[in-house]
Amino acid sequence: MLAPIPSYDALRDDLARVLPSARIVTAPLRRLAYGTDASFYRLVPQVVVTVDDEDELRAVLAACRTHHAPLTFRAAGTSLSGQAISDSVLVLLGDGWRGAVVDAKSETIRLQPAVVGAVANRLLAPYGRKIGPDPASIDSAMIGGIAANNASGMCCGTRQNSYYTLVGMRIMLADGAVLDTEDAASVAAFKHSHAELLLGLAQLSQRTRRDATLADRIRHKYRMKNTTGYGLNALVDFDDPIEILSHLMVGSEGTLGFISAITYRTVPDHAHKAAALLLFDALGTACRAVSALATLPVEAVELMDRAALACVEHKPGMPAALRSLGVDGAALLVETRASDAALLAQQVAAITAGLAGIATAVPIEFSTDADTIAKFWKVRKGTFPSVGAMRATGSTVIIEDVAFPVARLADATLDLQQLLHTHGYREAIIFGHALEGNLHFVFTQDFSTEAEVQRYAALMDAVATLVVGKYDGALKAEHGTGRNMAPFVELEWGRDGLLLMQEIKRLFDPLNLLNPGVIISDDERAHLRHLKPLPPADPLVDKCIECGFCEPKCPSARLTFTPRQRITAFREIARIEATGASAQAERSEYAWLGIDTCAGCGLCATACPVEIDTGKLIKSLRGERAGPLAHRVATVVADNYGPVTAAVRLGLRGADLLHGALGTRAMTALTGTARSVSGGRIPRWSPSMPRAASVSARATTAGEPLVYFPSCAARSMGPARGDDSESLPTVTDRVLQRAGFAPVYPAGMASLCCGQPFESKGLLDAANGKSAELADALHAASDGGRLQVVFDTSSCAYRMKRFVGERRLPLRILDISEALRDLVLPRLTLTPVAGPTAVHAICSMRKMGLQDVLVDVARACCTHVTVPDAVGCCGWAGDKGFNTPELNAHALRDLRSALPAGCTSGVSTSRTCEIGLSDHAGVNYRSIVYLVDEASNHPR
Ligand SMILES: Cc1cc2nc3c(=O)[nH]c(=O)nc-3n(C[C@H](O)[C@H](O)[C@H](O)COP(=O)(O)OP(=O)(O)OC[C@H]3O[C@@H](n4cnc5c(N)ncnc54)[C@H](O)[C@@H]3O)c2cc1C
Ligand code: SF4
Ligand code: SF4
């Protein structure tokens, strides 16, 4: 066991010798924010380090050993049981762990631990394959966490989880030794260096097999999903100690070693799907249907109790039948998949016939329509967030995860419902993966008083008695033991099982260096300690459940803060200030981490189960910080927008003249020096900077009238030096006319703007004033809304669509991508230009759901189109590319390497984003309109 740590200062000094200082975090607010995970536990690490490869990790392990400092590995931090937090050293995975290799036959995939599960599946999708584990968190959870939690979900059952689909693993143990089970030389060396460990595992395995009662119990328990304690099935399933070792790593929650790579056997991902939402008048009938379905060709069977359905039944798009279901009712969402349509039809027939004797509240109707299937899944997936969204501010939402033998599912579910009511959890809902007997129950919990903590303690004791005592089920089926179930491991597994687990831990990690207190704990109140406070901070973010689903969307993730970290840190500031103390130090730390480096893109909201747009919080903080003077200046700028854009053009012209005279290298050096001397106040200049736009539209009345609004950015910023094209408004006007339209321009265009530049700075009065002015001008130009209005810049289209939508103004606004696909392309003869061309959908376009439209237009105009998967928000954020260029550089750090060989151009729909894209891709990005112009500009 570890002795108490002498000094974290000494540890930090040692770490500084092996890691760059930027990757060692000691600042308090950052440690707190980086330390948070999705559980309701809070530990604040003393040090947070980011490691990029095995050598760095080995050095960190050595330093921690020397200083007796425990450490916890962190992947995406979506764990729910408190296993991804630390009050000592938290080890984050840097960019270096994102490698992925699909084998030639796509039967296996080797993945490093920081690959997001959904990214692995996108790599496999072209082959009709996927990885087996399918947690609901797969869009954010990473392979390290998926394997170390033995996570699973709706379809994978017990046969496609990490344990069963494991082909090989590369592991680093607490002593720094590496074992690669797929490398014969590594295995041989390990057998030599770690003979004692392997012998110990072999002996444990033999001892377990000799104890027939224990061995049978282990086999019985793993017929269900089970993640309570270590995966003891490894001891009875394998003879080879290497196999035992690698399979014990699955579900070990960072307590036995580090998973440096894992090879999975892939599983088919059939394209043909059918689903039905079956409604029952009684839960017992639904559970009888589950037993019948167990022998039928189904992929997923999701059970929802009446309370779960009640949470979502009034939401838009929900099936009307839900509302007429009685108080004892329940639903099953059944999905079946097949490799072809004929087989699918046979399966649907077999399932329907198999359920013939079971009464449903409405007739069984399977659908193969993708929208209908999505609607059914919306019912199921909406249940958990609904509880999260409805909870009282300050309380937390808890999702528990138990498994019962399927044969006893009906009684167990009714007992569970009763138990929750007895303990006063009347809002609790139950849903789950019925085929495995895996039920989640979700309830809200206040931890701010001792009485409430005791109520929770009593519930957990009662649940443990019910699940283990009455049904011999599993206390954790998917989410891992963590700190939450560590006190109950012995109850579930008995003394023998616990002793086995303690011996396993001692064999792997004799110093108890790795994630102590997780899985193995002698503290019977461990599940009641370190409860996370969730103080009210701002209604914009109070519903946040800190799940982390937003993190992969955020351009500042790994640079400064993610949306979750922004909220966690802001809550801490609110907590401190609520006590009457000053949070000045935290507020100044927050200024850069939370406020300045948020792109305000709102992409976080697209992944958030409770629809929080953290960008809105940040913009409102920017507005507060700006103070009254800035708001007054904004109004003056808004009122004089024509001269201001003229001045921008003048500035760009001056900069371009200087660029021409000095050349790129000298200009870069000069402006870089000026920026650094000014303390970052002079905006960054780059070779992709636009020249001043010069607009020359050919007035016409010949053709079908349509309003065209060139954005202020398009009116002021032309192509970069070296790009001879005309300015965007000129090209757009030409393309529209070529397609037979007569563009109409709003009066007073020089001073018009949608207000977006003001909104992103939190200057809402000025922003809304400009939007209203533009709406009036467009109303007049479009003859009271009769003509459609085309915007050439997606961020402006998005803002004005929302503005006119909220006010129900009669304006029909089209983003340029929609206008090109629906109005322009059908009227043009296209000769696709040679590719590859890269396509970048900006954030507003993603939020409008138009990225596929942009890709369609590009595909119509180019022989080879590429959409780099690794790039989301570019981080330019209106003008942050000039003022906070680190954000842009960080967000686009993977772009260049993601482009295929020979790619010399890119298209997008925002002139400012295109500057950063060009800089960081090394190829010129322009509006999609240029591509359409080129493809259609040929003699007929
Ligand atoms: C809303 C919500 C829904 C969820 N739904 C599901 C579900 O359907 N099924 C399910 O199983 N889980 C679910 N989870 C829980 C969680 O998302 C999964 O278990 C997920 O796989 C955890 O992955 P992660 O990348 O977030 O890991 P983390 O939380 O970062 O880490 C998980 C554990 O793995 C350890 N670890 C991380 N990387 C390594 C490594 N390289 N080597 C060794 N140990 C490592 C950590 O120390 C920790 O103990 C859900 C969570 C939320 C918030
Ligand atoms: S903002 Fe939403 S997605 Fe992000 S952590 Fe909070 S609840 Fe989860
Ligand atoms: S608005 Fe964009 S940059 Fe800001 S927190 Fe959300 S995803 Fe991150």
3-state secondary structure 8-50: HHHHHHHHHHHCCHHHEECCHHHHHHHHCCCCCECCCCCEEEE
Nearest CA to ligand 2 atom 2: 608
Nearest CA to ligand 2 atom 6: 544
Asked if residue 597 has its Cβ within 6 Å of ligand 1, the reply is no
Mutate to test the pocket of ligand 1, among 61, 71, 74, 264 (most ligand atoms within 8 A of CB): 74
pLDDT confidence of residue 686 = 74
Confidence check: pLDDT of 680 > 70: no
Q: Please, what is the average pLDDT of the chain?
A: 93
Ligand 2 centroid–CA 798 distance in Å is 23
Provide the sign of the torsion angle of the four alpha carbons 308, 314, 317, 322, taken in this order: positive
pLDDT confidence of residue 316 = 84
- Residue 543 CA: nearest ligand 2 atom is 7
Ligand 3 centroid–CA 717 distance in Å is 26
Band (pLDDT 50/70/90 cuts) for residue 940 is very low
Band (pLDDT 50/70/90 cuts) for residue 546 is very high
Confidence check: pLDDT of 679 > 90: no
Confidence check: pLDDT of 720 > 50: yes
Band (pLDDT 50/70/90 cuts) for residue 923 is very high
Ligand 3 centroid–CA 590 distance in Å is 14
CA dihedral 595, 601, 606, 610 (to 10 degrees): 30
For ligand 2, which residues put their CB under 6 angstroms from it?
A: 544-550, 563-564, 567, 604, 607-608, 610, 612, 614
Q: Which helix (H) or strand (E) holds 273?
A: strand 272-280
pTM of the model: 0.94
- Residue 78 CA: nearest ligand 1 atom is 26
Q: Span 417-437, mean pLDDT?
A: 93
pLDDT confidence of residue 415 = 95
C-beta pairs of 125-128 under 8 Å, 24+ apart in sequence: 125/269, 127/102, 127/266, 128/268, 128/269, 128/270, 128/271
Predicted confidence (pLDDT) per residue in 479-507, tens digit: 999 999 999 999 999 999 999 999 999 99
Ligand 3 centroid–CA 567 distance in Å is 11
Of the listed ranges 553-562, 664-673, 701-710, the least confidently predicted one is 664-673
Band (pLDDT 50/70/90 cuts) for residue 691 is confident
Asked if residue 251 has its Cβ within 6 Å of ligand 1, the reply is no
Confidence check: pLDDT of 3 > 60: no
Reference 304, options 423, 387, 369, 223; nearest CA is 387
Q: Span 281-293, mean pLDDT?
A: 93
Band (pLDDT 50/70/90 cuts) for residue 937 is confident
Ligand 2 centroid–CA 567 distance in Å is 8
Provide the sign of the torsion angle of the four alpha carbons 814, 818, 823, 828, taken in this order: positive
Structure-token pair, residue 235: 């001891």
- Residue 79 CA: nearest ligand 1 atom is 29
Q: Quote the percentage of the chain above a pLDDT of 90.
A: 81
- Residue 549 CA: nearest ligand 2 atom is 3
Pick the ligand that lies closest to the CA of residue 78.
1
Nearest CA to ligand 1 atom 9: 135
Confidence check: pLDDT of 1 > 60: no
Ligand 1 centroid–CA 437 distance in Å is 21
Strands, sheet with 330-338, edge to edge from the N-terminal-most edge strand? 272-280, 330-338, 300-305, 429-433, 438-445, 396-403
Ligand 2 centroid–CA 342 distance in Å is 42
Confidence check: pLDDT of 429 > 70: yes
Predicted confidence (pLDDT) per residue in 215-251, tens digit: 999 999 998 999 999 999 999 999 999 999 999 999 9
Ligand 1 centroid–CA 253 distance in Å is 8
Q: Span 363-381, mean pLDDT?
A: 93
Ligand 2 centroid–CA 547 distance in Å is 5
pLDDT confidence of residue 501 = 97
Ligand 1 centroid–CA 40 distance in Å is 14
What is d(CA 574, CA 364) in angstroms, rounded to the nearest whole number? 51
Mutate to test the pocket of ligand 2, among 541, 542, 567, 571 (most ligand atoms within 8 A of CB): 567
- Exposure class string for 397-419: b at 16+ Cβ within 10 A, else e: bbbbbbbbebebbbebbbbbbeb
Asked if residue 300 has its Cβ within 6 Å of ligand 1, the reply is no
Q: Span 830-850, mean pLDDT?
A: 95
Structure-token pair, residue 327: 């108080």
Asked if residue 789 has its Cβ within 6 Å of ligand 3, the reply is no
First vs last Cα of the chain: how many Å apart? 82
pLDDT confidence of residue 602 = 96
Nearest CA to ligand 2 atom 8: 547
Type of residue numbered 109:
I
Asked if residue 614 has its Cβ within 6 Å of ligand 3, the reply is yes
- Residue 256 CA: nearest ligand 1 atom is 43
Type of residue numbered 220:
H
Asked if residue 83 has its Cβ within 6 Å of ligand 1, the reply is yes
Pick the ligand that lies closest to the CA of residue 35.
1
Predicted confidence (pLDDT) per residue in 870-907, tens digit: 899 999 988 888 889 999 999 999 999 999 999 989 99
- Exposure class string for 462-477: b at 16+ Cβ within 10 A, else e: bbbebbbeebebbbbb
Nearest CA to ligand 3 atom 2: 601
CA dihedral 389, 392, 395, 399 (to 10 degrees): -40
Ligand 2 centroid–CA 608 distance in Å is 5
Pick the ligand that lies closest to the CA of residue 612.
2
Confidence check: pLDDT of 160 > 90: yes
Asked if residue 229 has its Cβ within 6 Å of ligand 3, the reply is no
- Residue 564 CA: nearest ligand 2 atom is 5
Predicted confidence (pLDDT) per residue in 506-522, tens digit: 999 999 999 999 999 99
Confidence check: pLDDT of 108 > 50: yes
Nearest CA to ligand 2 atom 5: 546
Count of CA atoms in the C-beta half-sphere (13 A) of 445: 29
Mutate to test the pocket of ligand 2, among 140, 562, 610 (most ligand atoms within 8 A of CB): 610
Ligand 2 centroid–CA 398 distance in Å is 15
Band (pLDDT 50/70/90 cuts) for residue 939 is low
Q: Span 265-274, mean pLDDT?
A: 96
Confidence check: pLDDT of 6 > 70: no
pLDDT confidence of residue 697 = 61
Nearest CA to ligand 3 atom 5: 563
Asked if residue 79 has its Cβ within 6 Å of ligand 1, the reply is yes
Ligand 2 centroid–CA 876 distance in Å is 23
Predicted confidence (pLDDT) per residue in 601-614, tens digit: 999 999 999 999 99
Mutate to test the pocket of ligand 2, among 139, 534, 546 (most ligand atoms within 8 A of CB): 546
Residues 355, 289: contact at Cβ < 8 Å?
A: yes
pLDDT confidence of residue 665 = 67
Pick the ligand that lies closest to the CA of residue 253.
1
Asked if residue 517 has its Cβ within 6 Å of ligand 1, the reply is no
Ligand 3 centroid–CA 555 distance in Å is 7
Strands 258-265 and 89-93: unpaired
